[in-house]
Structure 1
């Protein structure tokens, strides 16, 4: 996950602070209020929409994955097992991608909204739906830990949203540019 993000200025010139967060039980989820018209719809990794939405989400934050070669992108798609488009009233509003990391661990590798849907009250409920999906993925053994990370290069509402939903920080790192 850390290789997908980049940029930022916190923690020194060109550095960023990455915060890793986790949930170890489904009952730790503190759901946001439902938002009418918001849904997660599954999409195949081979659908070009996955890359298009990823890039629109990543662009304002300078994620390093924007510079991935087609080969590197294909390699990542082969490991990220599940993708959903966040839709609001039928419009593409964001993307959720998850990876199984073995031993019941699930990484939310991509979670975000495209710029025109940011700051409109969709993130909390979209994350609620994503976390519910993560806990119910068809993996063996069943999910026992859901984790993700964010950084100071991401939207300033990202970390507070993750914490409000019940994610707990377990590690922080200062990463050079």
Structure 2
């Protein structure tokens, strides 16, 4: 499968505050995230698309990823459990902290409710204010990768929040014929999970 990967970035925070989220949801900051929960969120949000690269990760790989100082998850909760999340992954550089929006998205039950834009706005604001809550230098860059394996609104959503395209790349990936779905991706029994990529 041909996959187009797009990198976007911003070098200064938005002058607009994030929009308020509706009363039926709440957004919670979570640190020291258990690897089991991080993997569950990844599968819950990514299952309807083609998020497969980390399904084959070991627990130790998840632990190493989550132990990076300053890592935060912002989890959106609605009726019945999590409705989406933003995973912030900082890298301290010579000019300050570069914060990657490592993963962002909504669970299927939350799609179409107008939550994607406001959740991303809150995630971006949290990336810019990361040094206020953690022991990392001030943020100088917020960036993200998205690709044609993500939801169809992903790229436009990032651009609408002020992230600017700074690079594209095309690759060939060995992917299943269709998305695995959240049930299989979160560990539910089914036929064999496709070979992970990346």
TM-score by length of 2: 0.74
Q: CA deviation at 1:61?
A: 1.9
Q: 1:21-40 CA deviation, whole Å, 9 max, x = no partner?
A: 0110013x666643312442
1:73 aligns with 2:62: yes
> Alignment partner of 1:105: what SS?
strand
Counterpart CA distance in 1 for 2:155 and 2:18 is 15
TM-score by length of 1: 0.83
Q: CA deviation at 1:148?
A: 0.6
**Aligned length, in residue pairs:** 163
In structure 2, runs of 5+ residues without a counterpart are 174-198
Q: Name whichever structure is richer in helix by fraction.
A: 1
1:169 aligns with 2:160: no
Counterpart CA distance in 2 for 1:137 and 1:31 is 16
Match of 2:39 among 51, 68, 72: 51
Contact 1:30 1:166 in 2 (8 A): no
Counterpart CA distance in 2 for 1:168 and 1:56 is 27
1:95 aligns with 2:89: no
Identify if the C-alpha distance between structure 1 residues 134 and 39 changes in structure 2 by more than 3 Å, giving closer, same or farther.
farther
Counterpart CA distance in 2 for 1:146 and 1:110 is 13
Counterpart CA distance in 2 for 1:109 and 1:30 is 23
1:60 aligns with 2:65: no
In structure 1, runs of 5+ residues without a counterpart are 1-13
